[in-house]
Amino acid sequence: MAIRVAVAGASGYAGGELLRLLLAHPEVEIGTLTAGGNAGTKLGAHHPNLLPLADRELTETNAAELSGHDVVFLALPHGHSAALAAELGDDTTVIDCGADHRLNDPEAWTRWYGGDHPGTWPYGIPELPGGRDALRSASRIAVPGCFPTVSSLALAPAFAAGLVEPEAVVVAVTGTSGAGRALKPHLLSAEVMGSASAYGVGGAHRHTPEMVQNLSAVAGEPVKVSFTPVLAPMSRGILATCSAPLRGDLDVAAARKVYLDAYGDEPFVHVLPEGSWPQTSATLGANTVHLQVAIDPDANRLVVVGAEDNLTKGTAGGAVQCMNLAKGLPETTGLPLAGIAP
């Protein structure tokens, strides 16, 4: 029997990417599609690329519309998921692509998002230690942020193996789709094209506590993270340069062995051959993270560069991967390994 799926927030970028992937999923039947201000319009007005669903009408986002589905994806802004999810029964698997349930620490939630902590759900990076066990048969899942996905996967093996000191620097270049579909003057093409700009500088980006949470759990001790995102003139993709000070002598061959041992059997995380470096174009539309490992001997630092598509592995693809685990399907079902090029 097909898994009946609803998508809340279907008119946005994350919702559209979810639907693109779900259309290719052999075990899924796409049910209700909801939106906020776009309720009452046709999906094709927002995602003309989704031709098989173009005539579907978007309905209001509420529990009555979403009830009765096997899986509900919430592609909503932070602060909008918790109350809605509370109205859906445990017989519905709710997968939150927003931030409401990612953080373990209530104080961190209040600091970074404000208000009362809505609670913590199993965290959706299967490739992290213990990640798959937490997701199997889960009825509530928190999908990670796009930056924490690539940066956590880039640094986790090094912290798990004790190769580096408990601090990291992450500089990640990203496309404009990560900011969502709402109109913002600084994301107009005239402002973005031909320019790159840093934002959220000095520990101000809300994905920072997620990176700290993930890497501290892997390291077994508190890890400090300095994170700087950079907006680049592209629609989608993240290229993250992640580094940490070495604890002792380490050559690149030994570092690569740690990473190959960690990810050698992973279907979606690929350590590239020596001399090959990640590029966002190679992950476009694919549920993959590409990594390369280097040692900077003069600075005595491990450097790991990672690339992903922020809308696929960084959001919607990761969400479908979690659904597959929660529903007992092969983890790779319906998820592309091949990117789109050129």
Task: Name the residues annotated as catalytic.
Answer: 146
Which residues have a Cβ under 8 Å from the Cβ of 49 and sit 6 or more positions away?
16, 20
Q: Give the Cα separation of 206 and 209 in Å (integer).
A: 7
Sign of CA dihedral 18, 19, 20, 21: positive
Count of C-beta atoms within a 10 Å radius of residue 196: 11
Let me know: does 44 contact 50? Beta carbons within 8 Å. yes
Q: How many helices (H) and strands (E) does the chain have?
A: 10, 13
Sign of CA dihedral 62, 63, 68, 72: positive
Radius of gyration of the chain (CA): 19
The SS3 of residue 229 is: strand
